[in-house]
Amino acid sequence: MSRKEPQKQGRVLMLPIDCIEPSPYQARTVFDEPEIAALAVSILQNGLLQPVSVRRIGLRKYQLVAGERRLRACRLAKLEKIPAILADFDDSESAALGLLENLQRSQLDPFDTARGIKEVIRLWGCTQAEAARRLGLSQPALANKLRLLTLTPEQQDLCTANHLSERHARAVLRLPESRRTPALEKIVRDKLSVRQADKLVDSMLAAPKAPSPCRKTIPMVRDVRFFVNTLQHAVDLMTQKGIAATTSCDKRDGCLEYIVRIPVNSDGQMTPAPPSPAPVAAETAPPDPPETVAADAPLREDFAVQL
């Protein structure tokens, strides 16, 4: 039987429940099982007072458009046939109707709502402004709902599992992504109201960021004499230990070139200086000690630097 049967469109039919498939556009992902069980008891006692809506997708095959909770309750009640309104909807109309039913009839999880709106916009191929008009929402309200999807799946699950409201979730969106989970955990732990959650976020934004323990400020010494003295002191220590290290200093292209030469053997080890000849008893004066540059002394002329 084809879809082209206008005499049956909009009529209430008694359809086998096994012929009705769930809607692939169902926005709700979490269902209250005790609520479904209570509805099943009511249906057994009073019958299904409001038919579900379906569309034909094949021979003796239908797809649910609206009434997911009622369909689940009827299955739980083990009904064989249920009343259904046959409607002629395309994909976009079916998705929009299912979303509208959830928005109007029962409290929908804010993240399910946001995902449903996003899917409807995709199917309609329209702007947020047009979707807001067709769904009966203001454009800022629709945009705020879609912003909830910028939370990570783990953060969304944290909100859903602890029954946080849409306004709780929107409060933490003002924080950088790395600080949202700690804020949500504190909101849950301390059972904060929306107003208290806003104040928590305000305090977190106002608090200065703690400096990283790995970063230390190293003062920059601009006087070149400090570095020259440090190099010269290291050479003096090697000389005192018997290493025949030598230095040379020159200015080139406005830079100070300081060269240290350290004798090493084939293994890369520093070689000591050859022993000095035995002193002759007389007249030779002891050699001058290695010269060092005092930290506060002016540079020698050959150490001058163009600044």
Res. 29: pLDDT tops 60: yes
Domain membership flag for residue 61:
yes
Tokens of 33: 């099982």
Q: Does residue 27 sit in the same domain as residue 80?
A: yes
Q: Mean per-residue pLDDT for 27-56?
A: 83
Q: Does residue 137 sit in the same domain as residue 187?
A: no
Q: Does residue 140 sit in the same domain as residue 79?
A: no
Q: Give the model's pLDDT for residue 305.
A: 38
Q: Does residue 4 sit in the same domain as residue 34?
A: yes
Residue 57 DSSP symbol: E
For the four alpha carbons of 74, 75, 76 and 81, in that order, the dihedral sign comes to: positive
Q: Does residue 180 sit in the same domain as residue 228?
A: no
Q: Give the model's pLDDT for residue 193.
A: 94
Q: Give the model's pLDDT for residue 264.
A: 76
Distances (CA, A) of 42 to 68, 70, 155, 229: 16, 11, 36, 93
Res. 48: pLDDT tops 80: yes
- Tally of structural domains, the chain: 4
Domain membership flag for residue 67:
yes
Q: Does residue 73 sit in the same domain as residue 12?
A: yes
Domain membership flag for residue 281:
no
Q: Does residue 16 sit in the same domain as residue 86?
A: yes
Q: Mean per-residue pLDDT for 245-253?
A: 78
> Which structural domain, as residue segments, surrounds residue 250?
223-259
Q: Mean per-residue pLDDT for 271-292?
A: 55
Q: Give the model's pLDDT for residue 2.
A: 41
Q: Are strands 81-86 and 52-58 parallel, antiparallel or unpaired?
A: parallel
Q: What is the CA radius of gyration of the chain?
A: 41
**Rounded to whole angstroms, how far apart are CA atoms 8 and 15?**
13
**Rounded to whole angstroms, how far apart are CA atoms 230 and 58?**
89
> Is 68 among the residues known to form the active site?
yes
Domain membership flag for residue 39:
yes
Q: Does residue 15 sit in the same domain as residue 80?
A: yes
**Rounded to whole angstroms, how far apart are CA atoms 88 and 128?**
26
**Rounded to whole angstroms, how far apart are CA atoms 187 and 241?**
66
Buried b (16+ CB within 10 A) or exposed e, 212-245: eeeeeeeeeeeeebeebbeebeebbebbeeebeb
Q: Please pick, among 5, 21, 35, 68, the residue that the annotation labels catalytic.
A: 68
42: Cβ contacts below 8 Å, ≥ 6 apart: 73
pLDDT band at 278; cut points 50, 70, 90: low
Q: Does residue 79 sit in the same domain as residue 4?
A: yes
Q: Does residue 2 sit in the same domain as residue 84?
A: yes
Nearest partner of 302 among 234, 251, 233, judged by Cα: 251
Q: Does residue 79 sit in the same domain as residue 61?
A: yes
Q: Does residue 16 sit in the same domain as residue 82?
A: yes
Domain membership flag for residue 43:
yes
Q: What is the CATH number of the domain that holds 36?
A: 3.90.1530.30
Res. 60: pLDDT tops 70: yes
Q: Give the model's pLDDT for residue 137.
A: 80
What confidence tens digit (pLDDT) does each residue in 284-307 have? 455 555 554 444 444 444 443 333
Are 221 and 210 in contact, with CB atoms under 8 Å apart? no
Percent of the chain surpassing pLDDT 70? 73
Q: Are strands 255-261 and 81-86 parallel, antiparallel or unpaired?
A: unpaired
Q: Give the model's pLDDT for residue 208.
A: 66
What interhelical angle do 139-147 and 128-135 show, nearest 10?
Answer: 110
Are 69 and 107 in contact, with CB atoms under 8 Å apart? no
